[in-house]
Amino acid sequence: MWEERDNKLCRSLTFKDFGQAFAFMTHVAILAEKSNHHPWWSNVYNQVNIKLSTHDAGDKVTEKDRNLAREIDQVYQRYSN
């Protein structure tokens, strides 16, 4: 689940292995680029940590972040099964 902390939407996701985590990140990167809204994220092996905030709005959570979070959830469902 997404959690709002320090004016950011945050979520940690776990995958079967590094390849699956990387494939997920590639898929999300394409979505983020299309919407011109790029997450802060990190990846170690099968763990991906994501933080979303809108820089143009003063690093606060906006509808843009919530929309990308919903899209990320949909992608995660494909890769987590």
What is the Cα–Cα distance from 54 to 56, expressed in whole angstroms? 6
Please give the pLDDT value at position 81: 67
Place of tokens 């990846």: 43
pLDDT tens figures, 21-67: 999 999 999 999 999 999 999 999 999 999 999 988 888 999 999 99
As a whole number of angstroms, the distance between CA 62 and CA 67 comes to 9
Question: 4 forms bridges with which residues in the sheet?
Answer: 9
Cα–Cα distance for residue pair 79/25, rounded to 1 Å: 10
57 in helix, strand or coil?
A: helix
Cα 45 from Cα 15, distance rounded (Å) = 9
The domains located in the chain, with CATH, are: 3-80 (3.30.1360.20)
Residue owning tokens 């902390």: 5
Evaluate if pTM is beyond 0.75.
yes
